[in-house]
Amino acid sequence: MTEYLDYKELKSFYTMKEAAELIGLSGDELKKTMEAMDILQDKDPEGHIGLRREKFCQVHQFVYRNERGLPLQERQRIGVPYLDYNTMKSEYTVKETAALFQMPLPVLAKYAERYGIFPYTRNGKAYLDVYQVRSLHNFIYTEQLSKNPWSILLEQMGEGEG
C-alpha cells in the first residue's frame, strides 16, 4: 500500500524508477496510471526521464486516495494541477503557462481575460511574470474548487459555460 509522504521533504525530480518505488508501483503500473491521468514524463538537465515534484505529487495523491477507496472526484481533482510557488521561474511564456496549467491555450486565454490578467510582449513573444501566473493559478483553482468535475471537463472541452 502506498505510504503517506510529506511533500515538503521531496526532491525536485524523480526518475521513473525512483517514482515507482516511492509510490509502490511497478514501472508499468506507474506508466499506466500516468497515462490514465494524462500526465507526461519530464527530463531533468542531465537528460534523465522522470517526474518533476508537482507531477510526482499528483500521481502519488491519486494512487494513495485510490487505495483507500475515496470517491473518484477526491482521487484526482480535475482542473489546474498543484504548483509549488517557491520553485517557479520569474516569467513564463503564454505557451509555457498553458502547459504548466495543463490546459489548452484558448481556455487559458479565456480565464486570463476573465480575471484581467494580460501578457506583455518582448521580442515577439507573449509573457506572464511569476506574480501573474500565481494569481491566475489561484483564481482558476479557487473557481474550480466550487464546481463539480463534469462542468470543468465540459468547459475545458469548449462545451460548457465559461
Return the residue matching grid coordinates 527530463.
43
Cell of 74: 477526491
Summarised one tens digit per residue, pLDDT across range 80-108 is 788 888 889 999 999 999 888 888 888 88
SS (H, E, C) the chain: CCCCCCHHHCCCEEEHHHHHHHHCCCHHHHHHHHHHHCCCCEECCCCCEEEEHHHHHHHHHHHHHHHCCCCHHHHCCCCCCCCCHHHCCCEEEHHHHHHHHCCCHHHHHHHHHHCCCCCEEECCEEEEEHHHHHHHHHHHHHHHHCCCHHHHHHHHCCCCCC
Name which CATH class applies to 85-156: mainly alpha
Summarised one tens digit per residue, pLDDT across range 95-153 is 999 888 888 888 889 899 999 999 999 999 999 999 999 999 988 887 776 665 566 55
pLDDT for the residue numbered 148: 58
- Structural domain boundaries in the chain: 7-75, 85-156
Task: Tell me the C-alpha distance between 40 and 34, whole Å.
Answer: 7
Fold match between 7-75 and 85-156? yes
Q: Does the pLDDT at position 12 exceed 80?
A: yes
Q: What is the CATH number of domain 7-75?
A: 1.10.1660.10
pTM over 0.75: no
pLDDT for the residue numbered 94: 94
